[in-house]
Chains A and B, each alone.
Chain A
């Protein structure tokens, strides 16, 4: 699946962006050296990144591990019920502290020299410390925390200095994200689907979330139509989307149309998406609540952990409905989204060619980044590309 860019990025000469705002140079999708720059400027830069939801670690001692770029993280709920995000590295010699994907611990012990950390990160024990360096103080060697903020349980981290989280998401995006998180963030984890796509993270991101329904034959077969809605973008690359979904009966195509019934959600707000820069897609589609925690593994591999949730107040019947709808609708094998997954990989292969990815639908100006787009326009991606271009420091053709 690997391919070579015809214009290898050297890390020295910045890429030049075309003057036309609806063109994206395809060389940004296949470049290993560029990926290293993106790690520094975006993934370790002044941007918040979603790494989990508090509902994934509901009990004291629950933890999950995750990666931000190549940086291993350990997310744990302490005895004080606080969820903290640590670097998953012993503060002694740097050994990876926790190897499991998830679990429950009373404390975290590094097997190398038996340093023992409490759930709140405090270094509780370190055998033989009498012989440690003269300036050693046990209280200085608690687990290092990465800067963290939460919004309704959504755990965001950064290694840089972005604005406070709510400001960074933007006032205009908060009501949609709130609705998506069940109104109050009191979610209950149903489980995961985890997959690696042979796709650059930007290609994944450009085609996940909302895109033209033309791809989905199923929508037509099921007579499954969207209604009115809106798409809103922010200057720093987020996309907020809401649309009505007309309840579908399956048009006789399905033997079991109960799968696509609305049981807990208002169809008027049937499809709700928050896509945060650089690569977090979250959606509530019908009765599916799905947060996609993504990891940019390399310039050609993107890993996505689809986490699905119910709401704590759901009836048992609704939980059961969410389980079967979530399992079958939106993941890497989902009735709707298997096709998306196919596109992530096909577009990555197609992008290893010279020239530009061209955006068309909804483009009204070749020089202005569109900020006012219609629900079905593909131009919703352009402000994010503009933000990417600026963060990466790429100049536009003709720009000084």
Chain B
């Protein structure tokens, strides 16, 4: 961990990670989107480790602007409803590094694991992976709040065990 980070910023980053996990584990897509900055230059990518390692740009989810993030919420909540077999997730994350990127921004890396429970089924591992984030602190002191400017989710599974509805 960088020495430069203040307790308030660490706390804000922790709260962001918690909010992200809570949103997805409750299937709350609006809350998921709310963990991202409202600025247009905000992105969420979810890409396989194989593509990432080989420098292949194709992703599983490629939301390279705020509009795309909002459109993903619309698709999950308005278009796909009633089509997919429901499943619940539990995300577990472990922060690996956090470095200042200037301008109240931090490069943060975390490991994650996602457990999945289909309705009526047993719990299995969906995938593990790494979050590579650019996190921005907005506000000062007690009002400091962290948001994602960029979250790059690199998942480990060379072959995913099922089709995917929710972001990782």
Q: Is the CB of A192 within 8 A of B71?
A: no
| A196-B162, A338-B164 known; A327+B59 contact, CB < 8 A | yes
A residues less than 8 Å from B57 (CB atoms)? 190-191, 323
Q: Mark B117-160, 1 if CB is under 8 A from A, else 0.
A: 00001000000000000000000000000000000000000111
B61 proximal to A (CB < 8 A): yes
B51 at the interface (CB under 8 A from A): yes
**Chain B residue total in the interface (Cβ 8 A):** 38
Asked if B84 and A342 sit within 8 Å, CB to CB, the answer is yes
Q: How many Cβ-Cβ contacts under 8 Å join chain A to chain B?
A: 122
Q: Is A255 an interface residue (CB 8 A)?
A: yes
Scan residues 236-281 of chain A and give those whose CB is less than 8 A from a CB of chain B.
253-256, 259
The answer to whether B83 touches A255, judged by C-beta atoms less than 8 angstroms apart, is no
Partner of B58, one of A254, A255, A327: A327
A347-391 Cβ-contact flags toward B at 8 Å (1 or 0): 000000000000000000000000000000000000000000000
| A133 lies within 8 A of chain B by Cβ | no
A194 interface residue per 8 A CB criterion? yes
Q: Are the C-beta atoms of B56 and A192 separated by less than 8 Å?
A: yes
Binds A, one of B9-17, B72-80, B90-98, B102-110: B72-80
Q: Tell me the complex Cα distance, A194–B161, Å.
A: 9
Q: B70 touching A255 by the CB < 8 A rule?
A: yes
Tell me, rounded to whole Å, the shortest Cβ–Cβ distance linking A148 to chain B: 24
Please count how many residues in chain A sit with their CB below 8 Å of the partner chain's CB atoms: 41
In the bound complex, how far is the Cα of B78 from the Cα of A253, in angstroms?
A: 10
Residues 49-90 (chain B) with a chain A CB within 8 angstroms = 50-51, 54, 56-68, 70-71, 74-75, 78-80, 83-85
Is B48 positioned at the interface, with any CB of A under 8 Å from its CB?
yes
Indicate if the CB atoms of A197 and B56 lie closer than 8 Å. Answer: no
Q: Is the Cβ of B71 less than 8 Å from the Cβ of A342? A: no
The answer to whether B83 touches A215 (Cβ under 8 A) is: yes
| Stretch touching chain B among A9-17, A23-31, A45-53, A329-337 | A329-337
Q: Which residue of A lies closest to B45 (CB)?
A: A327
Asked whether, in the complex, the Cβ of A254 is within 8 Å of the Cβ of B85, the reply is: no
SS of A interface (majority): mixed
Q: A191-B51, A192-B50, A256-B65 are in contact. Are A338 and B163 (CB under 8 A)?
A: yes
- B165 located at the interface, meaning its Cβ lies under 8 Å from any Cβ of chain A in the complex: yes
Please give, as numbers and ranges, the residues of chain A lying within 8 Å of B165 by CB-CB distance. Answer: 333, 338
- Per-position 1/0 for A213-226, Cβ under 8 A of B: 00101100100000
- A256–B62 Cα distance when bound, in Å, is 12
CB distance from A200 to the nearest CB of B (A): 15
CB distance from B89 to the nearest CB of A (A): 14
**Given A194-B158, A254-B71, also A333-B85 (CB < 8 A):** no
| Nearest CB in chain B to that of A221: its residue | B79
Q: Judging by beta carbons under 8 Å apart, are A196 and B58 in contact?
A: no
CA distance in complex: A333, B165 (Å): 6
Which residues of chain A in 164-201 are interfacial with respect to chain B, using CB atoms and an 8 Å cutoff? 189-198
* Residues B161 and A326 in contact, CB atoms below 8 Å apart: no
A20 at the interface (CB under 8 A from B): no
* Complex-state Cα separation, A255 to B68, whole angstroms: 7
Contacts A192-B51, A194-B160 given: A327-B60 contact, CB under 8 Å? yes
Q: Is A346 positioned at the interface, with any CB of B under 8 Å from its CB?
A: yes
Q: A192-B51, A193-B48, A259-B68 are in contact. Are A326 and B85 (CB under 8 A)?
A: no
* Nearest chain B residue, comparing its CB with the CB of A195: B160
- B159 x A102 contact (CB < 8 A): no
**A332–B159 CB distance below 8 A:** no
Q: Are A333 and B58 in contact (CB under 8 A)?
A: no
Residue numbers in B under 8 Å from A253 (CB-CB): 74
In contact, B61 and A342 (Cβ under 8 angstroms):
no
Flag if A217 contacts B79 (CB, 8 Å).
yes
Interface centre among A190, A328, A341 (most CB of B within 10 A): A328
**Given the complex, which residues of B lie within 8 Å of A98, measured CB to CB?**
none
Which positions 12-58 of chain B face chain A at CB distance < 8 Å?
A: 46-48, 50-51, 54, 56-58
- A195 pairs with B163, CB closer than 8 A: yes
Residue contacts A-B, CB under 8 angstroms, 15 given: A191-B56, A191-B59, A192-B58, A194-B50, A195-B159, A195-B164, A254-B71, A256-B68, A328-B63, A333-B60, A333-B165, A338-B83, A342-B163, A345-B85, A345-B162
Binding site for B on A (CB under 8 A): 1, 101-102, 189-198, 215, 217-218, 221, 253-256, 259, 303, 308, 323-324, 326-328, 331-333, 335, 338-339, 341-346
Question: 8 tightest A-B contacts by CB?
Answer: A191-B58, A341-B163, A191-B56, A327-B62, A256-B67, A255-B67, A333-B164, A191-B51
